[in-house]
Structure formats: C-alpha cells, structure tokens
Structure 1
Amino acid sequence: MNQPASSAPNSSGSVERTRQVGYAVFLLVLAFGAGYIATHLIADLSPVREGSLFPYLMLGAALLIALGFEFVNGFHDTANAVATVIYTHSLTPNVAVIWSGMWNFLGVMVSSGAVAFGILQLLPVELILQVGSGAGFAMVFALLIAAIMWNLATWYFGLPSSSSHTLIGSIIGVGLMNQLMHGPTGTSGVDWGQALGVGKSLLFSPIVGFLCAALLLLVLKALVRIPDLYQEPPKDQPPPFWIRCLLILTCTGVSFAHGSNDGQKGMGLIMLILIGTVPTAYALNKAVTPAETQTFVAVANQAAATFGKYTNGVAPSANPRADVEHYVQHRELTPAVLPAVQQLSTSLATAVGASGSMAAVPQRDVDNVRNTMYLVSEAIRLIEKSGKPAFAADDKLAIDNYRKQLDHATKFIPTWVKVAVAIALGLGTMVGWKRIVVTVGEKIGKQHLTYGQGASAELVAMLTIGAADAYGLPVSTTHVLSSGVAGTMAANGSGLQWSTVRSLVLAWVLTLPASIVLAGGLYWLFRSVA
C-alpha cells in the first residue's frame, strides 16, 4: 500500500528531526504515564488484603485485554481524525498522529463518564452485581475479545469499522446468550429500551454526517468563492495559512471530541473489572469527603421519606433487595417495589452514616453497599422513565438529588484509568493509522480530497461527536467522518468509488450481527469451561 503523498519528503532532515522529536516526546509521556498508573494502582491496592494471587492475576489479564480494546480503537477512530489534515498536506503524518494523540489524551481526561456508564446499562443487571463471579468474568472477557477480533479484522482490510458498534453488539450478544442459557426466569437479558436509544444514535450519526457535510460544503462554495478550496491540492504543498489553521483546528476538535466520547467506552468496563477483582478498593468512591457523606445520609433519609408517600400503605418487604432486583431485571412494578426502595434507602443511610465516610465503610460491607446503591439508582431511573407513579415536582427534585448522590458514590473513574485509556488510544493510533487514513483519503472519492471537503467533513464530525458527548450518547467517530467525506464527494461532484462505499456499508451492516454472534459464542464457551 502506498504512503500518502504528504509523507514523501520523509527523507529530508527537517521532517526526520520533527519525527524524532515527536516520538521522543511521546515516549517521555508514555514513561511518565506508566509510572503514574503504576504508582496509583499500587497505592489503591496496598490496603487490600487478599488470600491469594488469583484476583490480581485476573485483574492484570482483564486490564490488559480492556486496554487492548482501546489500543485497537486507536487503529480505527483516531486515524479518521488525522486523515483530512494528512491528505490536504496541512500536517505531515507523524506530526498529525502525535498532535491528534495529544488532544485525544486531553479529551479522555476531561470526560464525564456519562457515556461509559450509559453503555453499561445495556448489560444484564445480575452480571453487573456479580461481576466478580465466573459469569461476570466470562462476560467481560467475551465482549472485549469479540470486539478486538472484529476491529482487527476490519482494520486489516482497511475498512473504517465502528468500535462503538462493535462494543454495543458484543454487549447485546452477551446479554442474549445469558438469557438463553438461563431461561426467561431468574435472569435478565438486554435492556432493549436502552439498546434502542443507543442504536438510534449510532444509526443516524453517519446519515447526519453525510447530509450535513454535503450541505456545509455547498454553503461554503456559495459564500466563499475561492477556487483553490475546491480543487485537488498541489502535491506536497501545504494549503494557504488560514485554510491550514482551519483544517488543523477541526482535526483538533475531532480528536478532542473522540477522546471525550469514544475514550469512555472502555472506561466503564475497566471499572467493572476493578470492582469485580478488588471491590474493597474500587466499589465505592473514596474521594467522597466526610462532609459529602453526611450530605448523602441526609439526602437518602429525605428520599426514603419521599418514597413513603407513594407506598399506598403497603407493608414493608421481607426481602427488599430481591424485590428491587426483580424490578430492575423485569421492569414489573409490583406494589412491593416502592416500599422496598424506601427500605433500602433507609438502610443505606444507616450503613454509610455509621461509617462516617465512604472510605471508612468496612471492607466486608463495601460490595453489598455498592450493589444496593446501584440497584436503587437503576430502580429510580426506571421508575421515572415509566412515569409510574407520577411524583410531585418537589418530590421529584428530592429523588433526582438522591440519585445523583448515589451515582457520585458508585459511578466514578479514577484519573489513572483515564491516563491508561488515553495512552492506549495514542499508541494504537501511532501503530495502525495508515490503513484507515488511506481508505478515507484516497478510496472513498474518485478524486483527491480538497481543502473544502476536508474542513467540512471534520467540522461536522467535531460538532456531532461533541453534541453526543454532551448528552451522554455514544456515536461512531468512524462512521460520522467517513460518511462526511462521502457526503462532500457527492456534493462536489467528485464521484464515489462504489466498491469502497459498498465495503463500508457492508462493514456498517455486518458489525452488529457479527459482534453479537462472536460475543455470544465466546460467553457460552467461557461459561461452559468455567
């Protein structure tokens, strides 16, 4: 496969020096990041007392596979971000990859975690609650290995497949197989309501990318009548300064947005791994201060009193945890659910209040407290989504505040996890960028990518991914950008290489079913031998 045109001068001294400096800086960041991760991981695990090495071995293996997923994610998604600046000669390939990696890193570091934990809501609730069991580890290994296998296969053939689609399909595959293996009772399958919402965002994002990029290019051609913007760039010649700044700015925006959105998808799974292997260290957010803990206790008691208004005199449940878990699994709001949520809220306030802070909750109770918090938070989400019962405005505010407190205590991502994900993404980009960049830059359209096309596709991708991140929705950087490039080619009359377009559409269509089958099969295999 030929090197992109902009890499031809690599033999020149200045480009070689730039490449060497860039790699030296990246290796320095890598060394610093590895040291930072190791230091904080050791500090987190030092208070943990395990009777054997097995949990630590499982932790190491699972983290390696999870970061491997992010590494392969860098092959695909981050490579898309640099395609336009490379093929318009705005940046040399090595500089573009390092620049994009840096902004991916920053995007990951400021991410909220909303996308990460939103994806986890697709998983069967009993596997989340028992993630440290054999079934829990089978789930994590199956969906990650399936996602890596499919992403590697599509990358090998140079197809910009979506890591987001792959991961969602893997989660659905595990959920379906879990239900098939246990029958309709006693277990949950896929949260189809949540899956539909995620599926819509993934399905419509490439359509939005195609149409909006095409429209933006047409508007640009009508308003900015500079012929050089819409013609094939001269070989090895960078664009005019202002155009170059625009293209670098949009590449920066896409890279940052990718880090803040796609970078989260592996974080939620890493947190599940940490909770399953060493719950005493990661099940509860130990950064919650004693003052915040007292606020939690007060809010939990207030919420318990609020739920009491809607129990309709139903007697307290004999097993409130089982009642709430059944509701979260099957969405059946029986009369026992609200009294059970009230009881669990009171017990949480008592348990946490007696400890004085989240960090001081006894090790023997940490896992149970975390799972109870998770169940109550999910139950509140589902109750409010169903609209039954209809809470008064003041009561809804109290319950929403309570749910925020629950999520703050359980849905957190340590900084070292973000650093690890960012480094894995950056390494993946540096290793595997070329195959996807060549496809986006050369094989979608019949003509070379122009400055205007590159800017339009990147700007639409940046805004689409940024908006999705603000709403906690996962979208595919790959599909938004590659469809945006296709849209600009169509709008510019450049023509499309239909063989490539067919391959892209085929990868788009097959990714979900292929990852569902792969993950489901692997989950069955792991459960059979475990």
Structure 2
Amino acid sequence: MTLLIIIIVLAIIFDYINGFHDAANSIATVVSTKVLTPTQAVIWAAFFNFVAYFIAKHIIGGFGIANTVAKTVDLSSIASPSHVIIAGLVAAITWNLITWWLGIPSSSSHTLIGGFAGAAIAGGGLKAVHLDTVGIIALFIVVAPLIGMIGGNIITIITLHAMKKVKPGKADRWFKGLQLISSALLSIGHGLNDSQKVMGIIAAALIANQGIPDLPHWMAMSDMSEMHDWIPLVCFSAIAIGTMSGGWKIMKTMGNRITKITPVEGFCAQTAGSITLFISEMLHIPVSTTHVITGSIMGVGAVKRLSAVRWGVTKDLLVAWIITIPVSALMAGFVYWILTLVF
C-alpha cells in the first residue's frame, strides 16, 4: 500500500515536471512573436492542457495512449512490479530535470518509456518488455518530427501563396490573432498526449497490485476499462499546473535558436504540430510533443531557405533525442538495483 502511494506521488511529480519542461512547446512561438507575454502564454497553454481532458473523456471517448503505455511492460512477469515502476519514475524525473537545467528540449515521453522499460529489463529481463510496442514508440522518434517537418513545410507554402497579395503588416496582425487558435490546439494536443502517459503508469501499478489486502475502492482496478475518474483528472491537472510554472530555458531554444519565427510562421508551425499530435492520438501512439514542434519549426524555417535553420542546433537536439531512451533505461536499471538492496 505504501509503495502504491509512493508511485502515485512520483507519477504526479513527473507529470508536473513534464508540464514545465514541455511548456515551451506550446508557448515559444507566441512569446517570441510577442503575441502574448510569457505569463499570459503559460496561463493560456495550461487552460487548454486541462480542456484536453474533456475532449478525451467526452468527444474521443477514451484514453488510448494510456492503454498503450500501460502495456509497454508485462508487470505480471516481474517479482517486484512496484520497484520497477518507482525506478522508472525516479530515472525519468532525474533525466527531465537534467535536460531542463541544460535547456535541452528532450522528450519527457521517451524518458518515461525508457525508464519504465529499463527498470523492467533489470527486474525481469527482456521478456518483461513488449519489444514491439517499444519499437513502434522508438520509431516515432524519427517519424513524429518528420511528419511535423513535412506538415510545417506544406502549410507554410500554402499559407504564403494564399497571402502573397496581402501587405506584410496586415498579415502579421491577422496571424497574431490566429496564433492564439493554433497555440490552443497545440496545447490541447500536448495535454491529450502527455497526460495519458502517466495515467498509463498509474493504472499499470494499480492493476499489478490488486493482491494487496484491504485495498480501498479508489485503488481497485483489474483492467484498463475500469479506469477511475480521479486518475485522468489528477494527471491533466498536474500537467496544466506544471505548464503554468514556465520552462523559460527551453523556450529560448524553441523560440529563436532553431530559426527566427514570424507570426505567420508561428501559426504554421503550431498548426502542423497540433495536426501531428492529433494523428498520434488517433493511432494511440505516445509521441514527443517536443520532437513534433521542433520538426514543425524546422519545416517552416526551411521554406525561406535551408540556411535559415540552424542545423548545428538541430544536430545537438537530435543527439539528445537519440540518447534519451537508453540513458533513461540505464538510470532506471541502476535505481532498481539500489531499491533491491535497500528493500
């Protein structure tokens, strides 16, 4: 029972950190183009992070990404499933804080998946991990930003063609308003995608620990179809509160270091990013909001000319993306080893 409480608390902490770590994804372009102040932007993004709960619950009608994350690991084959989940969460939180401190927009999603899988391998070997599921998630490290990049490129070309007879000053005014809509859509996509990952972790922990005596009703769960309402409410709330806490170091990278952004380009990047996130939601594949919006910004910047994108910066980001899963996995394996010695 105590370990379950620890898991829930750690999961909520991770979700909160995910919020401020990934806040830059939703607000970087609206702040860099001076559509909103940083404070206004985080409140705007946080509100739509939480609105995503009602969309998932009442419009989409389910939490498919949470189900995918919960099935990443076969906890029934592991002697100490709670230790595995705790180790995975501790590793994910640690790596998220390190990358936030360094201002690297790495993936909170892949940090969590890597930590969860790494701890499971340490506790039960490769057979404890559903490698096909992890493989698809890892594949989207490349696919998701590529979709965002292509989408950003196409949407920008179409938009610029449609606006070619409009004076630049008037176009900027129009698209500053439209950026509010595109950033709201991106924040909804962020909430839908990232909140569900922690939901999947909490649900997996509750399902794996049904044998605990006198388990309270609000923890009783034998299948993903029995998801308690408090789980999504807490997760969507935590990520929204985390978003309100900012993430200014990463915002500098996302806002201007990759390429200079105008209101038109900001709108195009956010629209491409939100479409990509909605596609991943329909496919029930957890992707990185960070990867998606970075790819979209690169695609938008490349329309001007390839040299408009600072490829040196993107190379550094790509390295961070590639090492996230293995580093998180190794850290989680080490934490699991420590836990087995202590408990």
Q: Same fold (TM over 0.5)?
A: yes
Q: In the TM superposition, what are the counterparts of 1:247-262 in structure 2 within 5 Å?
A: 247-262=179-194
Specify which structure has the bigger relative contact order, considering alpha-carbon pairs within 8 angstroms and separated by 6 or more residues.
2
Q: Per-residue CA shift, 1:76-135, capped at 9, x if unaligned?
A: 3232111111111212211111111011011134432211121121112425xx7xx7x1
Residue 473 (1) aligns with residue 285 (2)? yes
Larger radius of gyration: 1
Q: Is the aligned partner of 1:429 residue 2:256?
A: no
SS at match of 2:240: helix
Change (3 A) 1:117 1:265: same
Deviation for aligned residue 1:271: 2.4
User: Which residue of structure 2 aligns with residue 123 of structure 1?
Assistant: 73
Structure 2 distance, partners of 1:492, 1:428, is: 34
Please state if 1:64 is matched with 2:9. yes
Q: 1:486: which partner in 2? A: 298
After the TM superposition, list the runs of 4 or more consecutive aligned residues in structure 1 that deviate by more than 6 angstroms: none
1:201 aligns with 2:140: yes
**Correspondence for 1:148:** 93
Counterpart contact for 2:24–2:254, Cα < 8 Å: no
CA 179–274 in structure 1, closer or farther in 2 if over 3 Å, else same: closer
Matches within 5 A, 1:211-226: 211-225=150-164, 226=166
1:521 deviates by 1.6
1:432 aligned counterpart, secondary structure = coil
For the 8 Å contact 1:250–1:458, the answer to whether it is kept is yes
Q: Kindly tell me: are residues 510 and 94 of structure 1, through their superposed partners in 2, closer, same or farther at Cα, counting changes over 3 Å?
A: same
Amino acid aligned to 1:461? G
The answer to whether residue 246 in structure 2 is matched with residue 439 in structure 1 is no
Q: State which of 227, 232, 245 in structure 2 corresponds to 1:413.
A: 227
- 1:506 is the counterpart of 2:311: no
Equivalent position amino acid for 1:193 in 2: D
Q: 1:109 to 1:65 in 2, by over 3 A?
A: farther
Are the aligned partners of 2:24 and 2:250 in contact in 1 as well (CA < 8 Å)?
yes
On the 8 A contact 2:42/2:246 being kept in 1, the answer is: no
* Shift in Å, 1:415: 2.4
Alignment of 1:253-332 (within 5 A): 253-275=185-207, 276=209, 279-282=215-218
Query: What does residue 48 of structure 2 align with?
Result: 103
Q: Which amino acid aligns with 2:63?
A: G
What is the aligned-residue RMSD (CA, Å)?
2.3
Give the letter aligned to residue 178 of structure 2: L
So what's the TM-score if we normalise by structure 1? 0.59
Answer whether contact 1:78 1:258 (CA < 8 A) is retained.
Answer: no
**Which runs of 5 or more structure 2 residues have no equivalent in the other structure?**
57-61
Q: Which residue of 1 aligns with 2:59?
A: none
2:266 maps to 1:454: yes
Could you tell me which residue of structure 2 aligns to residue 8 of structure 1?
Answer: none
Per-residue deviation, 1:66 = 0.7
Post-superposition CA distance 1:27-86 (Å, at most 9, x none): xxxxxxxxxxxxxxxxxxxxxxxxxxxx2x434322221111101111232321111111
Deviations 1:147-167 (A, max 9, x none): 111111111111111111111
- How much identity, in percent, do the aligned residues show? 30
Where 1:255 maps in the other structure, the secondary structure is: helix
Partners of 2:97 and 2:118 in 1: how far apart? 19
CA distance, structure 2, for counterparts of residue 153 and residue 224 of structure 1: 42
Equivalent pair of 1:274/1:282 in contact (CA under 8 Å) = no
CA distance, structure 2, for counterparts of residue 425 and residue 487 of structure 1: 27
Matched, 1:518 2:331: yes
Label 1:203 to 1:229 Cα distance change in 2 as closer, same or farther (>3 A).
farther
- How far did residue 460 of structure 1 move? 0.7
Instruction: Give the corresponding residue for 1:332.
Output: none
Partner of 2:168: 228
Correspondence for 1:191: 130
Gaps of 5+ in 1: 1-54, 232-238, 286-369, 371-406
